[in-house]
Amino acid sequence: MIFVLKVGNRKINKMDEHLLRYNKDKTFVFIDCESLNLCLNFCHNLPWQIAMIKIQGDKKIDQKNFYLKWDTNLKISQDAARITRYDHKKVQKEGYDPKEVFPTIKDWLDHADYIVGHNIIGYDIYLIKEYYQYMNCHWKYLVKKLIDTNVIIKGIKNNMIYNRNDNFLEYQYKVYHTKRKKAIRTSLSSVAKESGIEHDYEALHDAMNDLDLNVKVWNKLKWQIDI
Amino acid sequence: MIPLFKSHYSLGRSILTLEDKEQEDNYPDSIIQICKANNINALCLVEDNMSSFLEAYTNTSKTNISLSYGLRISITESMEEKTEDSIAKTSKIIIFIKNKKGYQTLTKLYSIGAKTGFYYEPRIDYDLLKKHWNEHLILCIPFYDSFIFNNALRSNICVPNFSFTKPILFVENNNLPFEDIVNEKLLKFSEENNLQILKTKSIFYNKKTDFKSYLTFRCINNRSTLNKPELEHMTSNDFCFESWKQENK
């Protein structure tokens, strides 16, 4: 099934003015974590790269790309190293002490109106949660801000329409827990390619490159869902 | 807050045993030993099947610990319906027994559920529960996988029928991101139906540091690995006795 994200060029209906697609004041922080493996707890996994892009309305206003150097015996899994193109020397050379960069990450996430990620509900939020807990900080207030582009795409492709009167987080969990149909592809690259988005696809799985693509996909997705 | 222990008899769900031992050793931790070491005189045991009852009853009787035994079982609209659609109408309940008569009823219910209602797992339905319901049982709604939880987070369409008793609602907080959504729904349901809410904590391992062992155990059962557990939301190390103890200081 070919899936094309449509960009709306419709007139703004007065009733729709509150929708995110028209709001130029809200701040979005897009976040992507690259980690040693897919475990959701720091007992066996740690993020070695956290990239963030700050958007206001449609405008990119800042970005951060942190390599994190942990004091740990954990090793990156072969799969993760291959897929994420992990460069040990680079992480050792450019990596920060996680305690040093945490205040910036916390400041960005705390002050964002929305925190966007691809599969953030099923993955990144758990690494963020573990990171906050490692720093003895509360994190639950972040959950209400989450927007998961992977879930939105899955919802659209499964015809699970979001009713604007419903709780958006609840909707996202419902879609997240819905069994994936075999033919449906929701990865950033496949959806972006289907939609004809221009991008450097060769560099995917570098956190910052992924995020750039995530922003482009979101800019199309926001016309497809009434939030 | 009530600690709800689960033993290894609930296959693949807990790494705690029901052995009667005096102190910690290099073998798996025992619920009985934890109770003795922490002066817990009333043990609440919630299992996914009934095979632990004999050991639990024997070892708690020996050590003067009073046992509240509960079965966590799936309940659906109709046991006869064995289709994929019926999964969306299925949720979990906990049935506690008060005495021997309660045990007999629960055994009967579980047998029917495991034989007649079986579809991937033992299931009963509301009609069966109503038919066999008596004053020797207590009905509780667990926090996770209940009809409230499934309807809120899983697009399920569970329609409960508790016309025959007033269930007690369990609430938990184990540092999971979706708990607030369920909490809100649970409070609303409790207010609308005038139901009691009890703070509980499910306990599957002793200490927070045991989480890695627990996760390994879950991965083995799931035929996955620590690097790729493929266990949704498996992040919290709070399902442990240590966490309960901290919150009850």
Between A37, A122, A129, which is nearest B227 by CB? A37
**Cα–Cα distance measured from residue B109 to residue A203, given in angstroms and rounded to the nearest whole number:** 58
**B201 membership: H or E segment, kind and range:** strand B197-203
Walk along chain A (227 residues) and give the pLDDT tens digit of each residue. 445 555 545 555 666 667 777 677 899 999 999 999 999 999 999 999 999 999 998 889 999 999 999 999 999 988 888 888 888 899 999 999 999 999 999 999 999 999 999 999 999 999 999 999 999 999 999 999 999 999 999 999 999 989 888 899 999 999 999 987 777 888 888 888 888 888 888 777 778 888 999 999 999 888 888 77
CA distance B64 to chain A (A): 37
The token duo for A147 is: 């927007």
- Look-up of token digits 């799969």: A79
Between A77, A130, A173, which is nearest B153 by CB? A173
Cβ neighbours around A191 below 10 Å, total: 24
Residue B121, SS3? strand
ipTM for the predicted complex? 0.92
Count, residues in chain B: 249
**What do you get for the CA distance between the two ends of chain B, in Å?**
11
Residues A114, A28 contacting (CB under 8 angstroms): yes
Q: Is the pTM of this model over 0.90?
A: yes
Q: Are A177 and B155 within 8 A, CB to CB? A: yes
Walk along chain B (249 residues) and give the pLDDT tens digit of each residue. 999 999 999 999 999 999 998 888 889 999 999 999 999 999 999 999 999 999 999 999 998 899 999 999 999 999 999 999 999 999 999 999 999 999 999 999 999 999 999 999 999 999 999 999 999 999 999 999 999 999 999 989 999 999 999 999 999 999 999 999 999 999 999 999 999 999 999 999 999 999 999 999 999 999 999 999 999 999 999 999 999 999 987
Taking CA atoms, what residue in A is nearest to B228? A38
Between B152, B177, B229, which is nearest A38 by CB? B229
The token duo for A132 is: 């906050």
Q: SS3 letters for chain A?
A: CCCCCCCCCCCCCHHHCCCHHHCCCCEEEEEEEEECCCCCCCCCCCEEEEEEEEEECCEEEEEEEEEECCCCCCCCCHHHHHHHCCCHHHHHHHCECHHHHHHHHHHHHHHCCEEEECCHHHHHHHHHHHHHHHCCCCCHHHHHHEEEHHHHHHHHHCCCCCCCCCCHHHHHHHHHHCCCCCCCCCCHHHHHHHCCCCCCHHHCCCHHHHHHHHHHHHHHHCCCCCC
Q: At CA A56, angle to CA A104 and CA A148, rounded to 5?
A: 75
Distances in Å between the Cα of A213 and the Cα atoms of A55, A83, B154, B160 are: 13, 17, 29, 44
User: Which amino acid does the sequence have at A226?
Assistant: D
Residue B170, SS3? strand
Closest CA to A116 of A161, A66, A51: A51
Chain B hits for A79, Cβ within 8 Å: 227-228
**B192 membership: H or E segment, kind and range:** helix B179-193
Per-residue model confidence (pLDDT) at position A1: 47
DSSP 8-state symbol, B154: S
Residues B147, B160 contacting (CB under 8 angstroms): yes
CA distance B176 to chain A (A): 8
Q: How is the beta sheet containing A47-56 ordered, strand by strand? A: A59-67, A47-56, A27-35, A114-117, A146-148
Report the CATH superfamily, name and number, of domain B2-247. Metal-dependent hydrolases (3.20.20.140)
A124 touching chain B per CB within 8 A: no
Closest CA to B74 of B130, B125, B138: B125
Q: At CA B161, angle to CA B158 and CA B167, rounded to 5?
A: 105
CA distance A53 to chain B (A): 23
